[in-house]
Amino acid sequence: MSAEHKPISEQPQPPESYSPKGKPAILSMAAYMQGMNYPDKKLIEGMASIKTQDPAVQENFHFCACMRSCMQYLCKDPSYDFIFFAGLTGALFFNIWDKKEPWTYMESVTGGRFPENNRAIELAFHAVGYACEIIDDVQGIQQNKDHYIQKIIASINEGYPVFTYGIVGPPTCSMITGYEKNGQILLGWSAFQEDDSQYFSKEAGLDESTKLVFFTRKTYEIDRNEQAVSALKQIASVSSMRQTEQFAYGADAYTEWANALLRDEDFTADCTEYLDQVTDAHCGQKNIVMTGREYGAAFLSRLLPYVPQYKEQIEKACALCNAEKEILSRFWQLEPGFFFDSKQLLNPEYRRQQADIILAARDVFVQMTEVLNRLDCIGG
């Protein structure tokens, strides 16, 4: 959605072998798969790792990294980058805290643990002119693995990868790009694989899968102005969600995070294992908000050519996004790196300094969301 990006109809079309228009319309029908004689192995060649794009861009939201790799392969369009997908799904403007299980490691809205995730996935596919099928049923996947392996084989043979939450490492999004031994072994890219120079190879690959996402059909050419308005609506929605019994979102998530750091009774010398969990979750929260502020203004700026009527508001939101980024950079004054010695959390003053940064960032975040929610397209 960069300024120089033109609608698909105005762009030179990629070679037919790479073009989405050259693919079959439907990939997910059971009848289509019955009786097909597939090879015992196949790999979609040339799909980039979800960890290798611009070295200056940290692709910390793994679904967005998978979409970047996939669509740059299918469409050869460099504007479909991590920032594009992380922005239009709202991932750059989202925050969450688990109130029932504090200090649980979380990812952004594309992370897969809550209902809003499916909406974000559908928006990402729709933005590039595709529909998708989401299998969000852990028990169903595990009880029907043979069926889903066949669906994966059908998709790979037609040149489309399949996304899975859970295959290598924790249940975040990875990408299946091939198979061997009739699907007994799955190949692909994960943010957690040990060797980044080649595809992972996983036997019984669906054993840890909690969600599957399939390409289904090409839909229609994309109206960039409509897409920009849709992105603004999604950003406004996910940044101002009301908290539920289990989850706090947006500003409430910042508050819960800070308050958890201030509970002195939870930080004692005999809880070393707990401190490691807290550190992991704390770094996860930093990952969500710092990634968002690092690239949030860049994404909003890309929208300006398509919604010039909101120039003043978007520029103000960008300024506030950058102001929060500056506040969050104070973390580096307390910690030499992203991860740190968990025993530092035993120091009450250290935790209070962390909480002060979080609450100051929250106050600026609130101002930014107020600006975006006042746009007349919101709720329209």
For 206-240, the pLDDT digits (tens) are 998 999 999 998 887 778 899 999 999 999 999 99
Residues 181 and 44 in one domain: yes
- Whether 288 is in a domain gets the answer yes
**Res 340: pLDDT:** 73
Indicate the SS3 state at residue 164: strand
Whether the predicted pLDDT of 161 surpasses 90: yes
Q: Answer yes or no: is pLDDT of 35 > 70.
A: no
Q: What burial class does residue 2 get, using C-beta atoms within 10 Å of its C-beta: 0-12 exposed, 13-18 middle, 19+ buried?
A: middle
The answer as to whether 37 is a domain residue is yes
Q: Could you report the per-residue pLDDT of 326-379, keeping only the tens digit for each? A: 999 999 888 776 667 888 889 999 999 999 999 999 999 999 999 999 988 875
Task: Reply yes or no on whether the pLDDT at 17 is more than 60.
Answer: no
**Does one domain contain both 53 and 179?**
yes
* 149 and 285 assigned to the same domain: no
Return the minimum-mean-pLDDT range out of 72-81, 244-253, 289-298: 72-81
**Residue 69 confidence class, pLDDT cut points 50, 70, 90:** very high
Residue 205: is it exposed, middle or buried by C-beta count within 10 angstroms (0-12/13-18/19+)? buried
Q: Could you tell me if 264 and 142 lie in one domain?
A: no
Is residue 18 pLDDT above 90, yes or no?
no
- The predicted model scores a pTM of 0.85
End-to-end CA distance of the chain: 22
| Residue 53 banded pLDDT, cuts 50, 70, 90 | low
In this structure, are 141 and 254 located in the same domain? Answer: no
pLDDT band with cut points at 50, 70 and 90 for residue 145: very high
Show Cβ contacts of residue 95 under 8 Å, excluding neighbours closer than 6 positions.
Answer: 249, 250, 253, 254, 285, 288, 289, 292, 365
Domain assignment present for residue 380? The answer is: no
Using pLDDT thresholds of 50, 70 and 90, give the confidence band for residue 192: confident
Does residue 121 form part of some domain? no
**102 in any annotated domain:** no
**pLDDT value at position 29?**
35
Does residue 331 share a domain with residue 238? yes
pLDDT, residue 27, reads: 36
Judge whether 18 lies within some domain. yes
Regarding whether 214 and 229 lie in a shared domain, the answer is: no
Q: Evaluate whether residue 12 is within a structural domain.
A: yes
Of 162, 194, 218, which marks where a domain is finished?
218
How confident is the model over 124-135, as a mean pLDDT?
A: 92
Domain match, 180 and 327 both: no
pLDDT of amino acid 268:
83
Per-residue pLDDT, 52 = 65
CA pair distance 365, 359, nearest whole angstrom:
10
More confident residue, 175 or 113: 175
Domain boundary among the residues 200, 218, 236 is at 218
Q: Based on the domain organization, do 248 and 189 belong to the same domain?
A: no
Beta strand 173-180 pairing with 42-43? antiparallel
Averaged pLDDT, 231-258: 94
Confidence of residue 193 (pLDDT cuts 50, 70, 90): confident
> Is residue 160 domain-resident?
yes
Domain that holds residue 74: 8-80+130-218
Q: What is the mean pLDDT of residues 103-112?
A: 84
233 and 318 belong to one structural domain: yes
Last residue of a domain, one of 186, 218, 250: 218
Looking at every residue in the chain, the average pLDDT score rounds to 85
Kindly state whether residues 60 and 205 are assigned to the same domain. yes
Domain count, the chain: 2
| Whether residue 203 sits in one domain with residue 310 | no
Does the pLDDT of residue 26 top 50, yes or no?
no
